[in-house]
Amino acid sequence: MSSQPDNASLSALDLFSVDGLVAFITGAGTGIGLMFAKALVKNGAAKVYVAGRRLEVLEKAASSVGPNVIPVQCDVTSKESLREAVKLVEKDSGYLNLLICNSGITGPSAPAVTSETTLEEWADGNFSRDVNEYVDTFAVNTVAVWYTTMAFLKLLGQGNEKKNVTQQSQVVITSSIAGFNKTSTAGWAYGQSKTAAILASKQLATALPRWNIRANCIAPGIFPSEMTEFAIQQYRGEAGGYGVVPTTMIPLGRLGEEADMAGTILPGRRTSEHVSIDQLEGLQYGKGYRGCRVGAYKDAKQQGPQLRPRGWAKDNVELSKTWSLIEQNEHHHILVPTHPRRREVQNLGMSVRKKSARPQPTDVLVVNRSGIRPVMIRLLKQGVAKRCLRIPDTISGDRDTA
């Protein structure tokens, strides 16, 4: 690895700076969206637009944070409403640096299942759910993510031209850990729609870099919000106390907090300057892969369904080294997990070298896809990366370095 040209770039104030940033957040009147707004404003963002359907809730949220927060009444399922929101931002600021697609609804609940439930009862219980309610869940949690992004892309492009911040413009999509859950903890429609949102983020992360716009996705666990209040009260009775969650549900035994969510959005600015990754899994407490357990995949399976195999890594030392490289060096690039023969992988060397803002090869190219070693070697030979290091595969546990 090359040495940093300037120690100032290692300053926490610089690494996590959002000074001068202009952001637009949907679903920001309460819950996670409001947590994002608070984190950005309290760390120097110039202006944060908080959007949602209930104007009175937005106005209350804005007044609780500060004058830099502007409430915008907007229905993300309406193209006309999105157009009006874009016009407002265009007239008021003229550009955006960050778009956070955070709106979401739970949708229909899943029918209760007991040891006595028959197949017919289970099928009838699911079939009885209202179709429109099911479809509406996708309309808000998935379709609106796509159309909201399309509506604001022009302003994000203008944010790059404005150069008011050092980072490229970015789209952040709030999915959910339910998008990886094979059970119906939050309802079938909710989990399925959040999985679809994750795929949308992958597609955007592949399509948008040609215009210097990044796309990232976070998958939070349970955080205090209107949507999760019922579950929180249920766990309160089971575990004894507000904010306490059974360890069978969350190993740390607690809900996420504002500081945890702030820890996901602030590092996404400078430290991810050259990163467009599909999703940050396991962000129950803003720790990402740093919460990985050590052990073999077979051990994870033996521990029971509450421990997801994705949370296991083979080599904790190598994992720590990987995170050290990622967090200390802004000239890295994380390759999204995808098939090695996909076009974005084959063209990575060309696309990286075209970036005039990057005069030197990427210091570290971090990938996390097994079977990708030939691609790593080719990128080294092309001079794209000085070193390649693959994150330990959190499912199989194998590892490649080059």
Q: Are 21 and 244 in contact (CB under 8 A)?
A: no
Instruction: Give the rounded distance of the alpha carbon of 240 from its chain centre.
Output: 31
Helices (H), 240-290: 258-265
Single-letter amino acid code for the residue at 360: Q
| pLDDT at residue 13, rounded to an integer | 60
The Cα-based distances of 196 to 153, 170, 180, 217 in angstroms read 20, 19, 11, 12
- Contacts of residue 301, defined as CB under 8 A and 6 or more positions apart, other chains included, come to 309
- Domain 9-221+256-286 CATH class label: alpha beta
- pLDDT value at residue 363: 42
Q: How far apart are CA 140 and CA 120, in angstroms?
A: 30
CA distance 69 to 395: 42
Give the pLDDT of the chain (402 residues) as one tens digit per residue: 445 445 445 555 666 678 899 999 999 998 889 999 999 999 889 999 999 999 999 999 999 999 999 999 999 999 999 999 999 999 999 999 999 999 999 899 899 899 999 999 999 999 999 999 999 999 999 999 999 999 999 999 999 999 999 889 999 999 988 888 888 878 899 999 999 999 999 999 999 999 999 999 998 877 766 666 666 666 655 555 666 666 666 666 776 777 777 777 775 544 344 344 434 443 333 333 333 333 333 333 343 333 333 333 333 344 344 434 333 333 333 333 333 333 333 333 333 333 333 334 444 444 444 445 565 666 566 665 555 555 443 333 333 334
Q: Is 304 helix (H, G, I), strand (E, B) or coil?
A: coil
Terminal C-alpha separation, the chain = 13
8 A C-beta contact, residue 156 and residue 96: yes
Distance CA 393, CA 398 (A): 6
Q: Domain limits of the chain?
A: 9-221+256-286, 297-402
What's residue 88's pLDDT? 98
Helix pair 31-42, 55-65: axis angle to 10 deg: 30
Buried b (16+ CB within 10 A) or exposed e, 212-241: ebbbbbbbbbbbbbebbeebbeebeeebee
Active site positions, annotated? 175, 190, 194
In Å, how far are 90, 174, 333, 365, 366 from 329, measured between CA atoms? 34, 26, 10, 11, 12
